[in-house]
Structure 1
Amino acid sequence: ERFKSFTCSLSSATNRLLWSLFFYRPCVKRCGEVRSVLSVSFRIQAGASLLAVRPQDRSRWLLACYEHWQPTLGTRLCRHLGALRAVHQKGVKLTDVRVEDGQEFAQVGSSLADAWQIRSSCESGRVVALQCSACGQQTAPGGRVVGGVDAAPGRWPWQVSVRHGSRHRCGGSVLAPRWIVTAAHCVHSYRRRRALGWTVRAGVTRGSAEQEVGVPVERVISHPLYNDNSMDYDIALMKLRVPLNFSDTIGALCLLPSHQDLLPGTPCWVSGWGYTGPDQPQLTETLKEALVPLISTQRCNSSCMYAGELTGRMLCAGYPQGKIDACQGDSGGPLVCQDELAWRLVGIVSWGRGCAEPNRPGVYTNVAQLLPWIYHITEIY
């Protein structure tokens, strides 16, 4: 089992998908004749995108009443599920949707963590319809990539080449049509934190595809706590001047959902155009991919590996024996893991000692620890 306390089944970018998230809060209240439940699962039903909840002790799903619903709840719920934002939410008349006989309903409190009251009907006569931003889908089966293989077009549609002038500088990942996430150390030096001169190329697998025009970057935001010596908080966001056009080869990557635990040994993938070996100091022509399992922070911080250099904003992936790793030029690129049908951004290529050296696995920015900052920046800019 790769993950605990979360399930999510996902379809294509049409957003005809089913999400479900489990909260384990063993607390039940009774308020008069209305039963209130804190421990519920959520899902967005296919078709009409109706939001449904299910108490832990029930087998049937309850439709969410629209009364007391706030747009901020939709945003929070989508983020709980790993999407960057809610793209559409509204109240739908019950007369306009298909409802089963004996269907029950649930009314939310002031927040998702509050008690959900089970009801036989909705006072407003409306239920919640919610769509989250689509992400984490591949169209092709399945840096610093040492020992990797060529990636097929559409295999990693969120992978981008972050360029300064005409040169590839780093990798990056698409979070939304106008948002790219990369490593702070990629933009920290040479006044590169200014947007001038930065472009992003998406949907390409060949690094020298000169016919591909890069999308100009409008704003570069590094994490304010980034430390160039320790590489702590190694994350930056780029806002594009114009949105990317999503297609079979360009798409967004999901973030991690709340309460999802990643276990050591979880198989993940790293991709990039970086060096293919420590003795091959030039970028590869074709996007490479490599399978690297997660390594526990305790083991990675042990005396035989990095001896305590990792902070809480870092994680490790790779092989103790070396041979497969990320390398120079892959920095800023994604470390992704899959749950059910969704791919999620787990790490950002950050640093290491050499490339594919024994007991020197790749070190990545731990994205889960920086989700509040990502949400904050993408909201205010």
Structure 2
Amino acid sequence: MEPPPRYANSPYVSYPSVPHQPGVHGTYYQPYTIQPGPPAPHYVIERPPSNKLPFLSCFSSRRTTAFIFIVAIVVLIGLGLIAAYKLNAFNGLSSSSIPRESCFPNKTRCNGIAECARGGDEMGCARFQWDNSLLQIMSRTQENLWLPVCANGVNSNFAAYVCQRYGFLGAPITQSVKMPDNPSNIGLVNNGASISIQGSVDRATCPDQQYLSLKCSDCGNRKMSRIIGGTEASQGKWPWQVSLQLQVGSGFAHVCGGTLISNQWVLCASHCFTDNPSPSQWRVYAGAINLNDLRTYSSVKIIVRNENYNTGTDDYDIALMKLRNPFTYSAAIQPACLPMTGQSFNPGLKCWISGFGKTVVSSDDTSPALMEAEVSIISTQVCNAADVYDGAITPRMMCAGDLKGGTDSCQGDSGGPLVCQSDNAGPWFIAGVTSWGTGCGQAKKPGVYCRVTEFTTWIYSQMELERDS
């Protein structure tokens, strides 16, 4: 499989033929490059050199200076407007990223008072604890104090309310669980309010020592792939795999992969949208194991790129897409589970990658068939060794593959899933998003993936912010 302009031994050029500079670490996996048509003829008319601008000859030197000054001011204003647009300073309908918020300098998260322009400080105030999906909500009176919810202290609609805030539309799964490390039995009970998740609960005791476990979807289950060194996947084996396709003329072409995390949200890589950020140009195809047999798709309402994404290092390489038309779950279409707070994917763990990327590095084409391959998690220490990636792996990245080479993601796999099970019978969790790597399947150059456990709060915050969009 392979991502955007980053896989291979030389940099690729992202559609539509806009030069994309690879990061400081060399060549990378990239979204699949749509091959451009022949360039238009280019003519150069040579003229005798001139030491003055003809149109200024009619001006006096004073008028010339004033004219140049005015032009310079206009140019600077224009550049400022362009920069503001690029940085999402205007929150217009064409923006495809969450703009950077202006916040009070000493804001307090989750205190029930919005202290940022879009209220982002009051989002992502609930989390799901590993390994029983215990619901925890941040205290309104003490930042970073996470409290469990009393199982018998909330009404029947509370669980659905929490999940709907995070963009999950299906019926939630709840149960009561013990919490041995809470001897004081402090928890939260429902107060009937519904302005925010943290605003709808108050601190109390849970005398029965039973707490609320909440799963917002029945995720990570199969209801029933070629990657470098991989094999073809069967229908329904990786039902969360989607194909992100960019409009080319009157049709659409595969560029990146993605992972369905709910019926209306897709997790993917920010670098897939560096040159093509407009939601109207994209479609998401689900339930397919062959790009020649595409049946189910949705147009895209919003693309949310992480505001800290670094194009030079591919740090924070994560993004979300919200669909205009939520998918209907079936044997071929299911979501993967987001990791829970405290969950880890340790070195040596066997996981799987899938996608429609290249199966032969030298090929110009991606694979029409969905491919799969088993890979091992590689420690950051090993991956940062001088003869591997020489310190390029940040805490937001993880490596997976085989240091001997042979099995890897490739161009066209960008944004796709690295999924793992906690045990052989458990659900599948999205551990990584295919991001970059040097070449495809090279020795000591394993695939690099965005580490999803570092972004769960960001993911839930964006889903909550955009719930009514």
**Mapping of residues 323-342 of structure 1, within 5 Å:** 323-340=406-423, 341-342=426-427
Q: How far apart are 1:108 and its partner, in Å? A: 2.8
1:359 and 2:438 aligned: no
SS in structure 2 at match of 1:186: helix
Q: 1:116 to 1:147 in 2, by over 3 A?
A: farther
**Mapping of residues 125-274 of structure 1, within 5 Å:** 132-140=216-224, 145-165=227-247, 166-189=252-275, 192-210=276-294, 212-274=295-357
**Mapping of residues 56-75 of structure 1, within 5 Å:** 64-66=151-153, 71=158, 75=162
Match of 2:61 in 1: none
Q: 1:197 to 1:68 in 2, by over 3 A?
A: closer
Once residues 291 and 107 of structure 1 are traced to their aligned partners in structure 2, the CA distance between those partners, rounded to angstroms, is: 43
Once residues 284 and 318 of structure 2 are traced to their aligned partners in structure 1, the CA distance between those partners, rounded to angstroms, is: 16
Match of 1:60 in 2: none
- Check whether the contact 1:68–1:109 (CA below 8 A) recurs between aligned residues: no
* 1:318-365: CA deviation from partner (whole Å, max 9, x where unpaired): 001000000000000000001242100000000000000000000001
* 1:69-117: CA deviation from partner (whole Å, max 9, x where unpaired): 99489849x99xxx9758557999xxxxxxxxxxxxx7733689x8853
SS in structure 1 at match of 2:460: helix
Q: 1:129 to 1:316 in 2, by over 3 A?
A: closer
- Check whether the contact 1:274–1:330 (CA below 8 A) recurs between aligned residues: yes
Q: Could you state the TM-score of these two structures normalised by the residue count of structure 2?
A: 0.58
Q: How far apart are 1:20 and its partner, in Å? A: 5.5
* 1:34-74: CA deviation from partner (whole Å, max 9, x where unpaired): xxxx999x9xxxxxxxx9x8xxxxxxxxxx22259994898
**Mapping of residues 263-302 of structure 1, within 5 Å:** 263-302=346-385
| Higher strand content, 1 or 2 | 1
Once residues 281 and 146 of structure 1 are traced to their aligned partners in structure 2, the CA distance between those partners, rounded to angstroms, is: 14
Name the aligned partner's letter for residue 109 of structure 1: L
SS in structure 1 at match of 2:188: coil
* 1:125-149: CA deviation from partner (whole Å, max 9, x where unpaired): xx97956222101135xx9820000
RMSD: 3.7
- Check whether the contact 2:226–2:372 (CA below 8 A) recurs between aligned residues: no
SS in structure 2 at match of 1:108: strand
**Mapping of residues 6-85 of structure 1, within 5 Å:** 6-7=130-131, 19=132, 64-66=151-153, 71=158, 75=162
1:308 and 2:391 aligned: yes
Q: 1:109 to 1:359 in 2, by over 3 A?
A: same
Match of 1:343 in 2: 428
Q: 1:366 to 1:251 in 2, by over 3 A?
A: same
SS in structure 2 at match of 1:262: coil
| Higher helix content, 1 or 2 | 2
Q: How far apart are 1:119 and its partner, in Å? A: 3.9
Match of 1:28 in 2: none
Once residues 129 and 318 of structure 1 are traced to their aligned partners in structure 2, the CA distance between those partners, rounded to angstroms, is: 34
SS in structure 2 at match of 1:344: strand
Q: How far apart are 1:273 and its partner, in Å? A: 0.6
Name the aligned partner's letter for residue 273 of structure 2: V
Match of 1:15 in 2: none
By relative contact order (CA 8 Å, sep 6+), the higher-ranking structure is 2
SS in structure 2 at match of 1:238: strand
Q: Could you state the TM-score of these two structures normalised by the residue count of structure 1?
A: 0.71
Q: How far apart are 1:279 and its partner, in Å? A: 2.2
207, 224, 245: which is aligned to 1:118? 207
Match of 1:109 in 2: 188
SS in structure 1 at match of 2:321: strand
* 1:228-276: CA deviation from partner (whole Å, max 9, x where unpaired): 1110111111111111011000011101111112210000100001011
Once residues 212 and 452 of structure 2 are traced to their aligned partners in structure 1, the CA distance between those partners, rounded to angstroms, is: 30
Name the aligned partner's letter for residue 136 of structure 1: G
Match of 1:56 in 2: none
- Deviation larger for 198-207 or 336-345: 336-345
- Check whether the contact 1:74–1:130 (CA below 8 A) recurs between aligned residues: no
> Unpaired segments of 5 or more residues in structure 1?
8-18, 24-37, 43-50, 54-63, 93-105
Once residues 218 and 73 of structure 1 are traced to their aligned partners in structure 2, the CA distance between those partners, rounded to angstroms, is: 23
Match of 1:369 in 2: 454
Q: 1:216 to 1:6 in 2, by over 3 A?
A: closer
Q: How far apart are 1:218 and its partner, in Å? A: 1.0
Identity of aligned residues (%): 36
> Unpaired segments of 5 or more residues in structure 2?
1-128, 137-144, 176-184, 190-197
Q: 1:116 to 1:150 in 2, by over 3 A?
A: farther
